[in-house]
Structure 1
Amino acid sequence: MTSARPLSGVRVLDLSTLLPGPLATLLLAEAGADVVKIERPGRGDEMRTYRPVLGEASANYAVLNRGKRAFAADLKDPAERDRVLALAGEADIVVEQFRPGVTDRLGLGYERVRALNPGVVYCSITGYGQHGPDAGRAGHDLNYLAETGLLGVVVDGAGKPPVPPTVLADIAGGTYPAVMNILLALRQRDATGTGCHLDISMTRNLHLMAYGYFATYQGGDGWPVPGRELLTGGSPRYQVYATSDGRHVAVAALEQKFWERLASLLELPAEYLDERGQESRVIEVIGGLIGARPAEHWRKLFDGEDVCSVVVATFEEAAAAGLVDTDSDHRLVGDGFDVGALPLPVDPALRRPPGALGAPSLDPLPDGRIWPER
């Protein structure tokens, strides 16, 4: 078993706030990178003020920023800006999340950093990208989902799109593409010696999540009809049904063998086994069958069966079943690196807690440096 993590010795300067950038640099830190996070003096990252509190900051901040070193710096102050610029000059990776043009005005833009550090991988995460008519617009996760069409493909009985269960654009359109492209850019730098500027647009990266709709359109079947497609509520095989006690069952019996076994367990009348052309009626019939029994009945009935159907769990139930990792520690496994689910802050004996925000100056390491010697 090796003791070195994949990104040991890699230096990351994190200028981002809230979720997409900090989650990306957390994943880099978990892989061994040395992450220095710069925050505004006084209040620091806005997420420090969230509730509930865990330690000296919010639980959200603690989860996303543990294992990093946090320093306060007023980027509008030339002297403090120059200290941050010097850090960027020694960094392997810079991650920023300002609107396009802001880092240039501050004197910390890609061209300025590249002049000092040609090998830097400079990652900019924004809602709409660095260029184009929407580049300077403000937005949040729900806006990005709405404008890409994804929010409207699933609707309720009144035709209203639901609020998503989590921030999909921030993570799937921001964090993960950022990390993947940073790692690819580091690989390219190993070969060429030069870095690059990564333009991560959360809105445009959501197109990947809509791959099936684009494929269907290209195949001639048009754009998706809200609530009518196979995976958006149009099929009885992929549906959420209410139980008699106010719980729900998630059915995803897409393949024929799963569908036939589910139909057998439900005692679905034979005339509804082929749902084509009568999808709405079959949804209604199955809804009546599942709605006649409580969730526990269906939990026991489906246990051990290959029907791809489960009771919708609460977080408490998921944790009790071991499906939510509330005490995770990323481990070196054999010769690989196992990055599990996003963990809660771990035992300080195992990993540094999130850094406290000190005075508005960059506190050096004991030897007087910010970055350790390579």
Structure 2
Amino acid sequence: MPDSGLLAGVRVVEVGGIGPVPHAGMLLASLGADVVRVERAGDPDALRSWDATRRGRTVVQADLKDPAQVEQVRSLADQADVLVEGFRPGVAERLGLGPDVLRGRNPGLVYARMTGWGQDGPWADRAGHDINYLGLTGALHAIGEERPVPPLNLVGDFGGGSLYLALGIAAALTRRARTGVGCELDTAIVDGASSLMQLIWSLRAEGRWQDQRSSNLLDGGTPYYRTYRCADGGWMAVGALEPAFYAQLLAGLGLDPAAVPDRDDTTQWARLTKVLEDAFSAESRTHWEQVFEGTDACTTPVLSMAEAPHHPHLAARGVLREDPDGVLVGVAPREGRRPATHLDRSTGSTLEGAAQRWTTPIAPDGGDGS
């Protein structure tokens, strides 16, 4: 059981799931929680090393159609602080693992549910993926150029899903420390993604954002907040929003501020974009990296996934570590200024073995006695 980290001493049962559920489990484990992941019995990939979001756990397998094994999972939850599940609404209840049953046995349990659509509403029972949830919230419509482009699954599954799930769990544990009572959390990607969009909704209400893609402040429409192609095919990312940073951008490019179109005149943005495109395309990415190194022009290289682990800043902080299983990300956030740490591979166990490790009874205040 982890003996360090912000969540050291917290016991988590993670019941299967894909996308945001294992990612949330990774976040909790990286902060020191003792996470037991319950996988489907007979799954040959239960200890899949290629998926690093499943690291840092004790992995057990269970047949949730077998009443005896379901009872073993209940017994594990009796000793847990948190249970995370990603079933469609009603499935956990049909399995006998719903919040009423588990919190009836363990009132201090934080029962955290993760879905795309939420526990209620007309679409609650529908299947979906990241792209579908973003499509409904307006977020997907705002991203891209001619057509909406899914931002990987970062904004939905992980930004609107697992991060809000982890935040809710941390908040619930904080309240439980005062009251001794757990709760049921309804975490939905459509809720979280909409929360992430609050600034954009506010800009739209002020008339500073329009529904036309690539025509706004942060969507690539602004000439000084977008990417530019270099002579060698590489790209530079420009985020020179503030006038002082913009001045350094022009200086680095060798452009006379008096000779370029007015950056504050949106009718001149197409002309200004062309001026900047011509300037960047005249030299290689390496050239521009050297020019803007050490400046506050907010102009930086767009690195490939092969390049990113070797960038001096990321390497100095140990953010990305190359491993036989692929690149591993460091624990985030860090406590103080400690060096980067990375989760070890998960280890296999049995339901009985996991339960034997968790022998300390739940304390009267709903904690685990530690």
Decide: shared fold, TM above 0.5.
yes
Per the TM alignment, residue 166 of structure 1 is displaced from its structure 2 partner at its CA by 4.5
Instruction: Show the counterpart of 1:53.
Output: none
In the TM superposition, 1:128-167 aligns within 5 A as: 128-156=117-145, 159-167=146-154
| SS of residue paired to 1:364 | helix
Distance across 1 between alignment mates of 2:232 and 2:333: 44
Counterpart code for 2:19 = L
Residue pair 1:121, 1:195 contacting (<8 A) in 2 also: yes
Counterpart code for 2:346 = P
Per the TM alignment, residue 169 of structure 1 is displaced from its structure 2 partner at its CA by 1.0
Per the TM alignment, residue 6 of structure 1 is displaced from its structure 2 partner at its CA by 2.8
Instruction: Show the counterpart of 2:34.
Output: 34
Instruction: Show the counterpart of 2:325.
Output: none
Distance across 2 between alignment mates of 1:315 and 1:141: 22
Distance across 2 between alignment mates of 1:30 and 1:87: 21
Per the TM alignment, residue 69 of structure 1 is displaced from its structure 2 partner at its CA by 1.2
CA deviation digits over 1:336-368, x for unaligned, max 9?
46688784x54xxxxxx3123x6xx62326xx7
Distance 1:124 1:248, change over 3 A: same
Residue pair 1:263, 1:273 contacting (<8 A) in 2 also: no
Counterpart code for 1:104 = E
Instruction: Show the counterpart of 2:97.
Output: 108
Segments of structure 1 that go 5 or more residues without pairing to the other structure are 50-55, 347-352
Per the TM alignment, residue 314 of structure 1 is displaced from its structure 2 partner at its CA by 1.8
Instruction: Show the counterpart of 2:203.
Output: 216
Per the TM alignment, residue 223 of structure 1 is displaced from its structure 2 partner at its CA by 4.4
Matched, 1:57 2:48: yes
In the TM superposition, 1:1-374 aligns within 5 A as: 4-43=4-43, 48=45, 57-60=48-51, 63-156=52-145, 159-221=146-208, 223-269=210-256, 270-275=258-263, 276=265, 277-322=267-312, 323=314, 324-326=319-321, 336=335, 343=342, 345-346=343-344, 353-356=345-348, 362-364=351-353, 369-373=356-360
Residue pair 1:12, 1:92 contacting (<8 A) in 2 also: yes
Residue pair 2:30, 2:332 contacting (<8 A) in 1 also: no
Per the TM alignment, residue 330 of structure 1 is displaced from its structure 2 partner at its CA by 5.2
Segments of structure 2 that go 5 or more residues without pairing to the other structure are 323-328, 361-368
Residue pair 1:129, 1:135 contacting (<8 A) in 2 also: yes
CA deviation digits over 1:99-121, x for unaligned, max 9?
11100111101111111111110
Counterpart code for 2:321 = T
Per the TM alignment, residue 245 of structure 1 is displaced from its structure 2 partner at its CA by 1.4
Distance across 2 between alignment mates of 1:332 and 1:153: 29
Residue pair 2:330, 2:341 contacting (<8 A) in 1 also: no
Per the TM alignment, residue 155 of structure 1 is displaced from its structure 2 partner at its CA by 2.6
What is the CA RMSD across the aligned residues, in angstroms?
2.5
Per the TM alignment, residue 16 of structure 1 is displaced from its structure 2 partner at its CA by 3.1
Residue pair 1:330, 1:339 contacting (<8 A) in 2 also: no
| SS of residue paired to 1:278 | helix
Counterpart code for 1:295 = R
Distance 1:144 1:297, change over 3 A: same
Counterpart code for 2:305 = F
Identity %: 36
Distance across 2 between alignment mates of 1:168 and 1:316: 22
Residue pair 1:238, 1:251 contacting (<8 A) in 2 also: yes
| SS of residue paired to 2:307 | helix
Distance across 1 between alignment mates of 2:99 and 2:79: 14
Per the TM alignment, residue 231 of structure 1 is displaced from its structure 2 partner at its CA by 0.7
| SS of residue paired to 2:356 | coil
Distance 1:223 1:329, change over 3 A: closer
Distance across 1 between alignment mates of 2:337 and 2:358: 26
Residue pair 1:118, 1:194 contacting (<8 A) in 2 also: yes
| SS of residue paired to 2:353 | coil
Q: How many pairs does the alignment contain?
A: 345
CA deviation digits over 1:10-33, x for unaligned, max 9?
211110322311221222222222
Counterpart code for 1:354 = S
Counterpart code for 1:194 = V
Distance across 2 between alignment mates of 1:263 and 1:369: 65
Distance across 1 between alignment mates of 2:333 and 2:232: 44
Distance 1:80 1:171, change over 3 A: same
Residue pair 1:145, 1:206 contacting (<8 A) in 2 also: yes
| SS of residue paired to 2:223 | coil
